[in-house]
């Protein structure tokens, strides 16, 4: 790792870069837009730093929610990413570059390890990474909004959601992958917008820019897939529609279609390289243009059965916030039965009947350990059985509970008898507030798009087709399969991001009458 003096210099340079990016946003964004960005930036800096020092010093504030070293209970996987990245960072740049693809979110681990190697191994480095990703995301959103003056309101709404929505704000305060994922997904959509504008224009030297955008597509799909492969796969599935829309959108129809089809091949290879250890074999066969055994794997592909198997995996994994059937949804065990999960086995090695005295416990440590492990395994099996018995037994019931958990506040959904969710550690107010924000965002996007399309002030652009259809391709399976609210609460941020992007990619091309597009000397 770098010496402390070099790390201090690198940190100062990084802060200078953040300041320059803020200056750029101040110059390019409208006043209200910049104030929203500044608010989101300051919130991440001050709230993230406060949480870090409270946990790092073990201060008596929310002590039962702290996990030490600057981490909190909602960032258990963040602690895992941080420790894994620390292992590679301590071994140098070669080890960072050689992070195996079987690691969880390998590309994010590489980025986090590079930050730890450059700036120091401390949990607050996650705040710096998240702030940089947030500012890059904001800069991309501002760039998208400058394509049409009518997009000022949608970009302000998008920035408000991504800056202050409870879910988006919460995940940005710890070294978690969510801010990084939002950044790379937004960049990918921006590349798609640049691609559609490339083929809509009349430039003659189009291929050098096309090759540059194709390279950016490969890199961004690789990054997305290494964090959440199913998101990249949903984007890949949508690319044929994007190619058709681009062909209708462009004057060079044949060239535009085949070039965009080439993007599909490039994106498919990026997914295979980044996530070969995670993509199921039948789905991986779809990504290969050709190869031995491809037809056999495709013949085995049954998406419904695969989704059912994923759902079954969630149902059989005990969780404190499992989404079980409400009183109106059929389940194996009637919802009126007791829903409390059995308490975990006490940390005693064995009951008195198994080891009757202290001397016997000291003489038989291996046996004590074995008995304890058996107790834990039996308790886990009991929790699994109780939880799975309270899950919906029909596909319709799973869809109903998934939609209710995603779009209805927990208090309302439970009072209607649609779902039942326990646990939450007292954070249901935060979760329900995030649900209300998501619902308001859905209403805003629908109203804005319908009004603009009916007035013929905007039209559906190819990038809008890509974002909208891929959102449905992600949201449908996610709502059906995820039966743990903690996981759903975090993953539905993908839906929120794509909803924010839909209005911003409506305009087909930049309007030449804008001041920033005026010829030199015209101002």
Interval 310-348: pLDDT, tens? 999 898 888 889 999 999 998 877 655 444 443 343 443
The pLDDT, as a whole number, for residue 305 is 87
Query: 200-238: per-residue pLDDT in tens?
Result: 876 678 889 999 999 999 999 999 999 999 999 999 999
Quote the strand ranges of 132-266, DSSP E: none
The pLDDT, as a whole number, for residue 311 is 92
Distances, alpha carbon 311 to alpha carbons 90, 325, 395, 421, in Å: 38, 14, 10, 17
Mean pLDDT of 429-453: 95
Nearest 5°: phi and psi at 460?
-75, 120
Distances, alpha carbon 193 to alpha carbons 134, 260, 332, in Å: 20, 12, 48
Is the Cβ–Cβ distance between 419 and 323 less than 8 Å?
A: yes
Quote the strand ranges of 381-481, DSSP E: 419-421
Mean pLDDT of 60-67: 89
Give CB contacts under 8 A, 24+ apart, made by 358-367: none
The pLDDT, as a whole number, for residue 373 is 67
The pLDDT, as a whole number, for residue 367 is 54
Is the pLDDT higher at 205 or at 271? 271
Closest among 235, 334, 305, 313 to 482, alpha carbons compared: 313
Nearest 5°: phi and psi at 259?
-65, -40
> Has residue 364 got a pLDDT over 90?
no
The pLDDT, as a whole number, for residue 456 is 84
Give the confidence band of 143 by pLDDT, cuts at 50, 70, 90.
very high
CA 188/CA 192 separation, integer angstroms? 6
Report the run of H or E that residue 72 belongs to, with start and end. Answer: strand 71-72
The pLDDT, as a whole number, for residue 385 is 78
CA 59/CA 82 separation, integer angstroms? 22
Domain boundaries, the chain: 1-176, 203-301, 318-327+392-523
Is the Cβ–Cβ distance between 231 and 224 less than 8 Å?
A: yes
Instruction: State the maximum Cα–Cα separation within the chain, in Å, rounded to a whole number.
Output: 94
∠ CA(111), CA(472), CA(76), 5° rounding? 35
Q: Where are the alpha helices (DSSP H) in 328-427?
A: 358-363, 365-389, 395-407, 410-415
Mean pLDDT of 463-492: 95
The pLDDT, as a whole number, for residue 75 is 81
Taking the CA atoms of 151, 154, 157 and 162 in sequence, report the sign of the dihedral they define: negative
Helices (H), strands (E): how many in the chain?
Answer: 23, 4
Percent of the chain with pLDDT over 70: 87
The pLDDT, as a whole number, for residue 149 is 86
Residue with tokens 């959102």: 471
Is the pLDDT higher at 522 or at 96? 96
Is the Cβ–Cβ distance between 127 and 44 less than 8 Å?
A: yes
CA 476/CA 491 separation, integer angstroms? 12
> Has residue 81 got a pLDDT over 60?
yes
The pLDDT, as a whole number, for residue 126 is 94
The pLDDT, as a whole number, for residue 291 is 65
> Has residue 358 got a pLDDT over 60?
no
> Which tokens is 88 given?
């590679």
Report the run of H or E that residue 168 belongs to, with start and end. Answer: helix 166-171
The pLDDT, as a whole number, for residue 4 is 87
The pLDDT, as a whole number, for residue 112 is 97
Closest among 343, 336, 310 to 390, alpha carbons compared: 336
């Amino acid at each position: 790792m770098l010496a402390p003096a070099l790390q201090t210099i690198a940190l100062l340079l990084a802060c200078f870069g953040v300041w320059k990016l803020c200056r750029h946003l101040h110059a390019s964004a409208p006043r209200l837009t910049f104030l929203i960005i500044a608010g989101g930036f300051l919130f991440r800096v001050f709230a993230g730093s406060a949480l870090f020092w409270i946990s790092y010093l073990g201060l008596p504030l929310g002590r039962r929610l702290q996990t030490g070293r600057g981490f909190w209970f909602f960032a258990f996987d963040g602690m895992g990413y941080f420790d894994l990245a620390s292992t590679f960072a301590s071994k140098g740049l070669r080890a960072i570059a050689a992070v195996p693809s079987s690691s969880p979110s390998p590309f994010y681990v590489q980025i986090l390890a590079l930050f730890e190697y450059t700036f120091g191994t401390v949990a607050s480095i996650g705040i710096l990474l998240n702030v940089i990703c947030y500012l890059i995301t904001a800069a991309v959103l501002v760039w998208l909004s400058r394509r049409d003056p009518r997009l000022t309101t949608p970009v302000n709404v998008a920035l408000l959601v991504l800056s202050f929505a409870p879910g988006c704000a919460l995940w940005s305060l710890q070294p978690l992958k969510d801010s990084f994922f939002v950044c790379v997904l937004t960049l990918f959509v921006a590349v798609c917008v640049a691609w559609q504008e490339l083929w809509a224009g009349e430039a003659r030297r189009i291929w050098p820019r096309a090759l540059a955008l194709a390279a950016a597509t490969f890199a961004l799909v690789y990054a997305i897939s290494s964090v959440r492969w199913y998101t990249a796969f949903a984007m890949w599935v949508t690319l044929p529609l994007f190619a058709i829309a681009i062909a209708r959108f462009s004057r060079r129809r044949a060239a535009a279609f085949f070039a965009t089809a080439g993007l599909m091949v490039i994106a498919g290879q990026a997914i295979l390289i980044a996530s070969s250890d995670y993509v199921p074999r039948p789905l991986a066969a779809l990504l290969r243009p050709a190869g031995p055994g491809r037809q056999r794997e495709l013949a085995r592909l049954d998406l419904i059965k695969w989704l059912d198997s994923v759902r079954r995996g969630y149902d059989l994994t005990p969780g404190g916030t499992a989404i079980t059937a409400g009183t109106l949804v059929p389940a194996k065990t009637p919802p009126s039965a007791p829903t409390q999960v059995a308490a975990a086995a006490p940390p005693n090695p064995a009951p008195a009947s198994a080891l009757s005295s202290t001397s016997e416990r000291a003489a038989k440590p291996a046996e004590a350990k074995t008995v304890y492990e058996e107790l834990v395994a039996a308790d886990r099996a009991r929790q699994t059985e109780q939880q799975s018995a309270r899950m919906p037994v029909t596909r319709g019931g799973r869809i109903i509970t998934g939609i209710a958990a995603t779009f209805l506040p927990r208090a309302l959904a439970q009072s209607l008898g649609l779902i039942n969710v326990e646990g939450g550690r007292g954070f249901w107010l935060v979760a329900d507030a995030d649900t209300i924000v998501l619902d308001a965002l859905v209403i805003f996007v629908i109203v804005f798009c319908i009004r603009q399309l009916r007035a013929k002030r905007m039209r559906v652009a190819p990038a809008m087709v890509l974002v909208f259809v891929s959102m449905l391709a992600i949201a449908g399976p996610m709502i059906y399969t995820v039966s743990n609210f903690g996981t759903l609460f975090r993953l539905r941020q993908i839906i929120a991001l794509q909803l924010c992007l839909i209005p911003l990619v409506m305009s087909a091309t930049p309007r030449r009458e804008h001041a920033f597009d005026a010829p030199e000397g015209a101002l």
